Structure 1
Amino acid sequence: MQRSRYRTLGQIGQGQFGKVFCGIDRENGQVFALKDLDIKQFPTRKFLRELSYLVSLKHPNIISFHGIEHHQGGRYLVMDYCEGGTLRELMESGQKITLQLILKLVQDILSALVHAHRKKIIHCDIKPENILLKITSTGYIAKLSDFGIARWSEEQLQPYHSGGYTGSPAYMAPERFYGKYSAASDLYAVGILLYELLVGSRPFSGFPKDLMAAHLSQSFNLSDTIPLSLQTIIEKALRKLPQRRFTNSQEMLEAVRLAEQELLGNSSDNIFFIPSSSSSLNNFSQIIKKVYLSRKITNLSVVQNWIYWVEKNVLMVQFYYDKTDLEFFHDYKITFEDEIIKLEFSSNTVYIFTFSEESNLYTLYHFFVEQEQLKKLLTWSANQLISSIDIKGKWIAIALNYQEINIYSLQDFKFIKSTITEGKIQQIITLDQSHCLVIHQSTSEHTLFQIFNRRGNLFKAFSITLAIELVTLSKVADYEIFAIETNKPFLGLLIKLKPLKITRIPLPFKPSFVLAQSWGYILASSLGEIIVLNAQGIIQGEINLSATITAITTLNDEKILVATESNNQSCLQQLSLKKDF
C-alpha cells in the first residue's frame, strides 16, 4: 500500500470505537483529525451509519467530514481539526470562563443542533468531551463532534424509538434511560451543560444508578447568583417530561440570544476569562542582593558561574563564587565598535551579535571565556537579526532576508546550506539538536510554522489562525512553545506542536520578557511587573519591582537576576522565588 497522504503528529484522543490522531496533509500542510476506527468495535454497518450522518451535516458548528483514508491497519475518517481541544479541557484548565464566552459556546452548540434536528438527526451524546473548540483571532468556535451513537428521528406520530441504553448518564434525559430519544433529549443535555458552565458542577452526580434516579425524579436548586433569565432557560430545558421542554432547538437558541442581549447588551469586547487573584510573590520571594551600576544593562545572561551583561557596545563578564550571592571575583570587559544586540550561548562559548547602523551590517563573534579568546566569525546584511543556535552548539541558522536561511557549522564555521522558506520569517526557535522551527507571520491573523533540519531540508508548513510573538521554547515538555497573542497581548498561548494543541492563558499585563523554567515560565513587563506560571499556565504569584526592567535572566530554578533602571540609576537585583508548586 502506498504511503499515506497524511503525516501523523500524535494521538489526540481515545474513544470507545477507536483512536483519533492529528495529521498534516503532505500536499498542502492543512491539519486534520484522523479518526481511526477499530473494525472489531466499529464494524462496517456502524461505520456507514456515522458516515451517513457526517455527509448529511454541513454546518460551521459541526465537525466536517473531508474523506476516507485507507491505511495498512484499517481506515481513517478525515475530519476538521480543532486545536483548542475539548470544552471539557477548557472547563478544567483552571481558568474562569466569562459569561460572554459561556453564552457564545452554548449558542454554537444550539446552532449545530438546529441544523442536525432539521436533518432529522438526534445526537444522543451531548457532553463537554464531544464539543471541540476551534481557536480564531476573535475567540472560540464550538463544533459538535462524535455522531457514533446518533439516531435518525422518527415521524411526528412516533416521536420515540427504542434504541438501547447508550450515552453518558451525567447528561442523559430521563427518557434516554429507557432507550427513547427525541430532539428534546439533546436539549436536556444542553441544559445540563449550561448549568455546569455557570455553576462549576452538574446538578446531579453519583454512579450511573444514582444518576438515573436523579434524572428521573430528583429536583435541583439554582443559585441566586445565576441571572434569572438563565435560570428560566435551565429550568425549562431540564423538565422531566420532554413535551414540557423547549419545543425545538431553535426556540432554545432564541431564548439564549435574548438572555445574552439582556445581560451583555451589544458589547463587542471579546473577553474570554475572568482575571484570577493570585497570591503575591512578596510573601515567598525576596531581593537578596542589589548591585548598582554606572550604565543601563540591555542584555543579561548566566552560563555556569559567569554572568554576562551588555552596556550598549560593552560586554561585561563577571565570575561569581556560587549561586547564593552576587560576590564578583574576576571580570572581563570587552568593547566592540558597534552596539551589541544579542547574546547566544553554547557550553562555555558566548556568541555575540553586533549591528552597525552606518554600514547596515550584522557581525557575529564568539568568545571562549576560559581561553580569553575573541574571534570574528561572520558579517552579513539582513532586514533584521533572526538566528538560532542548536542546543548542542554544533550549528547556527541565520535569516538573511524574509525567506532565506543560511546554515553554518559552528565547529569549523563552514557554510552548510541555504534554504528558502514558505513565508516571511519572524523568528527561529531551536527544537532539538537536529531541528529548528521557523515562525512566519503570514497575515495579521495567521502564523505559519515550518520545521527544517540541520541539513536545510524543509518539512511541509502548517498554520494557526492567530498572530503570535515573543515565542519561547518550553523546558517542561518536548515540542511545546509559549507565545503571546499579538492582537490580544494580555493572552499567553501554550502551543503543543506534536500533536497540535493551543491553550489560552489570561495575563495581568503585556509581557516584554518570557523565561522558560523546568517547572513553568517567568513573565515580566518593562514596567517592573513579574509573574510566575506553572507548567499548565496558571499564575502562582506576582511581584512588582516598581522600576523599569531592562533585562532579566535566571540563575537557577529558584533565583533570577533582573536589571532595572529607576531615576537614572541602573541596578542588578537578585531575587529568590522560593516557589511552592
Structure 2
Amino acid sequence: MLSLAGEGQFGKVYSAIHRQTGELFALKQLDAQKFSTKKFLRETRILLSLDHENIIRCQGLEHSKKHRFLVTEYCDSGTLRDFIDSSISLNIEQKLKIIVDILSGLSSVHLKGIIHRDLKPENILLTVSPNGWVAKISDFGVAKIESEDKGNDTNSLGDTGSPAYMAPEQFYGKYSYSSDIYGMGIVLYELLTGKRPFSGSPKEIMIGHLNYLPDIPSDLPPLLQDTLKMALAKLPSHRFRTAKEMKAQILRCLLALETVTTEKNPFFDGYVKDVSSNFDSDTIDILDDYFTLFVVNESCFYFAYQNTFLIKEYQIIDNKLIIKSSKTYQIDGTIFDLKPFNNGCFIITKDINNVRCYSINLFSNEITFIYSFCADNFLSAIAPNGNWLTLAINDKLDKTFQLIKLDDLTCLMPEIEDFFPKEIIILDQGHGLVSFEQKEINKNYSFWKFFTRKGDWYNNYCLDLPLENIKVNQKNKNYFLAREKFTDYVVLINLKPFQVKRIPLKLSPEFILSFDNYFICANSLGKVLCLDLKGNLVSSFDLEKKIIKLNNLNNQMLVASVLVNDKCHIISLKNVIPFSKN
C-alpha cells in the first residue's frame, strides 16, 4: 500500500503497488458500519460481472484483521469533478469524448440488467492516454439489478443517489434505466456549462427537478441544446430510449462541431493564465566565448565549448553573487557533456565514437582521466557525492546498462545487456530512475524503473504517455515534471498517491528544473514560468533575452547564461518564486 488516494461517504481509497509486477491498484476500504457486508458483496458481484474499458475493473477482494478491501484498477487522473472544478477547461471536443466513454460503459451496464442510480462527476474516474483521457464508471454501491429487484418495494428514498443528479421519478422511490440517462444529462450539462441546472438546498433541488425546465445556454450548438433537452426530459418516455441512442446523438454532435484545435494544445480550451511577477536580475560576468555547456554546484560554475573548459569559483555575500576566481583548461577532445557533483565536475568528451571521461575536484583543481569506452550513443548520470556513475552504452548492435563505483571502477551491479533507457535521473545519493520505451508493447508508453546504488531494482511504473526531459523535485522526491512529446504540455506526476496531471503552457519548455518546492519551466526566448507542486502557475516573467542555459543555485536563485549583443552574459535571477526570502 502506497498512500491514501481519496475519501468518500462509505470509506477510503488507497493506492497500492503489486510487489512482483509493479502494477498499480486501488484498494477501496469500506466502513462496515456505513456499508454492510451484504452491500459490499453485492457491489463486488456487480463489478465482477462487468467487463468493459469504460467501467472500473474489479480484481478481487483483500482482507486484514481490521479491514476489508475491494481491489480495482487504478485511475491516475482523478475524477471528472476535478476537471470540472479546474481553472483550465477542456475543449468541447474532449468533453464530448468523455461523455461518449461514459455512455459506452453505461450501455454495457444496462445490457447486464444493472441500473447505476448514482451517476455524477465524483463517480467518473479518468486515466490519462495519448489521445486525451479514458473515462470509467465507478461506485456501484447503490446500483440495482433489475431481475433481482422485481417485486421488491421500490417506494423508498433510502440509497437513491445524489439529489443534484437524480431523475424526477427517483424522488418518488422509482427508478429505471432512463433514470441513468437523466443523470447523464445532468453530468453533460455541468461539464458543458460548469454548473448544475438546479442548485440550492436538497428541497430546492428536488423542486427544480420535479417542476422546472433547465435553462439551456443559447450559445451551445443547436444539436447539443436538443441533446440536453431530450436527456433532461421530466418523463422517462420522452428521454433517449437507451444509452446507446444517446451516445449516437453525442457522436453526431462531435461530427457537427466546427472547433479549431491547435496541434500543440489538442485537449484544452486555452492555457494556464499568466501570473506576472517581479524579479531581481544582476549581471555577474560577461564571457568572451559562447559556451554551450554551463552547469553549477555548491561552489563553482563550469563552462565548456569545443575543447575549452572554464571554472569560475563563486561566493554569495549579502545575497549577492560574486566571482572569486577563474581558471581555463584545454581538454584533449571535444567536450560533449558536463556532470556536476558536490565537490567537482565530471567531464565527458566524444570524438566520433570514442568517449573519454575525466573528473576535476574542487580541492585539487586537477583534471584526472577516469574511464574510456566506444559508443555511437550513450547516457550517463552521476551521484551528487560523485562516488558512483550510471552509464548506458549503445554501440551499434550492443546495448548495456551499468552502475560504476568511481574510486576503483568496479561494477555495483551485473551489467544489463540489451537495455538502453531514454533517460537516467539521479534522485539522491543512493537512488535513481530510468525511463524507457518498449516499442513492441506501445511506443507511447513511458516505463519507469527505480534502482539503488547497490544495483537493486524496485517499483515499476507505466505511464500511457510519451515523456521526455523528466525532472524530480529535489525537495519533495515524490513529484516529477516532464514534457509530453509533440505538445506544449508538461505533465506533473505525484507518486504518493499516484497522480498524473497535464498542464497546458503558453510556451514549449526547453528547460525544466526543480527549485525549492516548485518547478521552473522556460524557453530559449526568455519566458520563465514557475509551477507549484499542484500544477498551479504561481509566477511568470520574461527576460527578453535568449537563454542558453538555466541552473538552480542551491534553491537560493536561478543562474542563467544569456546572449546579449553576441556576448555570453551570466546573470542571477532572484525572487523568482512567491514569498521568496531571497
TM-score, length of structure 1 as denominator length: 0.88
Residue 97 (structure 1) shift = 1.0
The answer (yes or no) to whether the contact 2:2–2:16 under 8 Å persists in 1 is yes
Residue 92 (structure 1) aligns with: 85
Residue 473 (structure 1) aligns with: 472
How has the CA–CA distance of structure 1 residues 222 and 80 changed in structure 2, closer, same or farther, with 3 Å as cutoff?
A: same
How has the CA–CA distance of structure 1 residues 564 and 214 changed in structure 2, closer, same or farther, with 3 Å as cutoff?
A: same
Which range moves more in the overlay, 93-102 or 432-441?
432-441
The answer (yes or no) to whether the contact 1:431–1:479 under 8 Å persists in 2 is no
Structure 1 segment 124-143 matched on structure 2, within 5 A: 124-143=117-136
The answer (yes or no) to whether the contact 1:533–1:539 under 8 Å persists in 2 is yes
Residue 522 (structure 1) shift = 1.5
Residue 156 (structure 1) shift = 12
Is 1:367 the counterpart of 2:365? The answer is: no
Is 1:259 the counterpart of 2:290? The answer is: no
Residue 363 (structure 1) shift = 0.5
Residue 188 (structure 2) aligns with: 194
How has the CA–CA distance of structure 1 residues 247 and 565 changed in structure 2, closer, same or farther, with 3 Å as cutoff?
A: same
Is 1:59 the counterpart of 2:52? The answer is: yes
Which range moves more in the overlay, 299-308 or 247-256?
299-308
Is 1:116 the counterpart of 2:112? The answer is: no
2:239 to 241, 245, 248: 245
Residue 71 (structure 1) shift = 4.9
1:22 to 15, 24, 32: 15
CA distance in 1, matches of 2:143, 2:419: 43
Residue 483 (structure 1) aligns with: 482
Coordinate RMSD, CA, aligned: 3.2
1:272 to 267, 283, 298: 267
Letter in 2 for 1:25: H
Residue 461 (structure 1) aligns with: 460
How has the CA–CA distance of structure 1 residues 94 and 299 changed in structure 2, closer, same or farther, with 3 Å as cutoff?
A: farther
CA distance in 2, matches of 1:435, 1:555: 22
Which range moves more in the overlay, 109-118 or 42-51?
42-51
Residue 388 (structure 1) aligns with: 381
Residue 44 (structure 1) aligns with: 37
Structure 1 segment 400-439 matched on structure 2, within 5 A: 400-401=393-394, 404-409=400-405, 415-420=411-416, 423-439=419-435
Instruction: Give a deviation string over 1:447-466, Cα, whole Å, max 9, x none.
Output: 11111112111226332222
Which range moves more in the overlay, 567-576 or 409-418?
409-418
Residue 376 (structure 1) aligns with: 369
Q: Which runs of 5+ in 2 are unaligned?
A: none
Structure 1 segment 155-234 matched on structure 2, within 5 A: 161-166=154-159, 167-234=161-228
Residue 5 (structure 1) aligns with: none
- 3-state SS of 1:508 partner: coil
Letter in 2 for 1:534: D
How has the CA–CA distance of structure 1 residues 409 and 522 changed in structure 2, closer, same or farther, with 3 Å as cutoff?
A: same
Instruction: Give a deviation string over 1:185-206, Cα, whole Å, max 9, x none.
Output: 2222222222222222222333
Residue 96 (structure 2) aligns with: 103
Residue 267 (structure 1) shift = 8.2
CA distance in 1, matches of 2:527, 2:188: 37
CA distance in 1, matches of 2:135, 2:468: 25
Letter in 1 for 2:176: S
Structure 1 segment 515-526 matched on structure 2, within 5 A: 515-526=513-524
The answer (yes or no) to whether the contact 2:295–2:301 under 8 Å persists in 1 is yes
The answer (yes or no) to whether the contact 1:364–1:379 under 8 Å persists in 2 is no
Instruction: Give a deviation string over 1:308-332, Cα, whole Å, max 9, x none.
Output: 3333333322234437555433222
Instruction: Give a deviation string over 1:90-143, Cα, whole Å, max 9, x none.
Output: 333432211011010011111111121222211111111211112222221111
- 3-state SS of 2:208 partner: helix
How has the CA–CA distance of structure 1 residues 394 and 217 changed in structure 2, closer, same or farther, with 3 Å as cutoff?
A: farther
Instruction: Give a deviation string over 1:531-580, Cα, whole Å, max 9, x none.
Output: 33232223345444455432111346574222233664333233345543
- 3-state SS of 1:97 partner: coil
CA distance in 2, matches of 1:433, 1:79: 35
CA distance in 1, matches of 2:569, 2:261: 44
CA distance in 1, matches of 2:274, 2:22: 43
How has the CA–CA distance of structure 1 residues 267 and 522 changed in structure 2, closer, same or farther, with 3 Å as cutoff?
A: closer
Which range moves more in the overlay, 308-317 or 54-63?
308-317
Q: Which runs of 5+ in 1 are unaligned?
A: 1-7
Letter in 1 for 2:328: K
CA distance in 2, matches of 1:300, 1:31: 39
Which range moves more in the overlay, 267-276 or 550-559?
267-276
1:502 to 482, 493, 500: 500
CA distance in 2, matches of 1:276, 1:460: 33
The answer (yes or no) to whether the contact 2:278–2:541 under 8 Å persists in 1 is no
Residue 328 (structure 2) aligns with: 333
- 3-state SS of 1:425 partner: coil
The answer (yes or no) to whether the contact 2:298–2:554 under 8 Å persists in 1 is no
CA distance in 1, matches of 2:428, 2:137: 37
How has the CA–CA distance of structure 1 residues 156 and 261 changed in structure 2, closer, same or farther, with 3 Å as cutoff?
A: farther
Structure 1 segment 335-354 matched on structure 2, within 5 A: 335-347=330-342, 349-354=343-348
The answer (yes or no) to whether the contact 2:392–2:399 under 8 Å persists in 1 is yes
Which range moves more in the overlay, 294-303 or 411-420?
411-420
How has the CA–CA distance of structure 1 residues 461 and 254 changed in structure 2, closer, same or farther, with 3 Å as cutoff?
A: same
2:6 to 13, 25, 32: 13
- 3-state SS of 1:203 partner: coil
CA distance in 1, matches of 2:47, 2:366: 66
Residue 560 (structure 1) aligns with: 558
- 3-state SS of 2:2 partner: strand
Residue 421 (structure 1) shift = 8.0
Instruction: Give a deviation string over 1:13-66, Cα, whole Å, max 9, x none.
Output: 233444333333344333332334445544432233112211222222111223
How has the CA–CA distance of structure 1 residues 380 and 351 changed in structure 2, closer, same or farther, with 3 Å as cutoff?
A: farther
- 3-state SS of 2:457 partner: coil
CA distance in 1, matches of 2:251, 2:151: 31
TM-score, length of structure 2 as denominator length: 0.87
- 3-state SS of 1:231 partner: helix
Letter in 2 for 1:109: I
CA distance in 2, matches of 1:535, 1:374: 39
The answer (yes or no) to whether the contact 1:278–1:542 under 8 Å persists in 2 is no
CA distance in 2, matches of 1:341, 1:140: 39
The answer (yes or no) to whether the contact 2:275–2:537 under 8 Å persists in 1 is no
How has the CA–CA distance of structure 1 residues 156 and 407 changed in structure 2, closer, same or farther, with 3 Å as cutoff?
A: closer
Letter in 1 for 2:197: P
CA distance in 1, matches of 2:156, 2:329: 80
